[in-house]
Amino acid sequence: MQVCGVDDAGRGSMLGPLVIAGISINKTKLRKLKALGVKDSKQIPPKLREELSKKIISLVDDYHIVRILPKSIDASVKYHNLNQLEAKYMAKVISKLNPDTSYVDSCDVNPKRFGKEISKLSNNKKIKSYHHADSRFVVVSAASIIAKVSRDKSIARLRKRHDLGSGYPSDKITVNFVKSYYAENKILPTFVRKSWKPTMKILNSKSFL
């Protein structure tokens, strides 16, 4: 029996991609995942996450990563469809991996509704959708690690050219980067999410979208 875990990384960021990753593994190997020390990526320091990501990829039967660019995120936020966008890409990951059962970390306040949406989009695959699935199910924890490492690499590439911090609105370096870039260029780079409230505050005009 093939079990899949799916999670995202970078949903709350002001910039960079929203990354969704999924892993597929035979149920008999779940103990091996636990033995690696796999847990929610937020509880693991960056260097260890990278090491674990490589070990997870070696152990699982298959994995798939998708990156949703800021342009697509902005278009969805404009119509209040960010959850639907995430459901669509989670369904793509699940369809690609083709497991018997999938566990997903729900971004919707209603996890059942989110699971039904993914099931519909992935041709009625068996979906188990929960809040905090990344800390409850090792398959989702593994996916969260791969998603986070992939997202960190995307930010690291951007950081080679820009001093932009972590990318999150709680980071003053990130906010100051967006402010100074806009002040100097009168436009924002394509990797900044223009629909995010902190960004819109900087732009001081919703019509910028």
pTM of the model: 0.93
Q: What is the mean pLDDT of residues 128-132?
A: 97
Q: What is the pLDDT of residue 206?
A: 42
Domains, in order of start, for the chain: 2-159 (3.30.420.10), 172-208 (1.10.10)
Q: What is the dihedral of CA 57, 51, 136, 102, to 10 degrees?
A: -10
| pLDDT for the residue numbered 205 | 53
pLDDT (average), residues 162-174: 95
Q: What is the mean pLDDT of residues 103-114?
A: 97
pLDDT in tens, 58-107: 999 999 999 999 999 999 999 999 999 999 999 999 999 999 999 999 99
Counting residues of the chain whose pLDDT is more than 70, the rounded percentage is 98
Residue 207 in this model has a pLDDT that exceeds 80 = no
Mean confidence (pLDDT) of the chain: 94
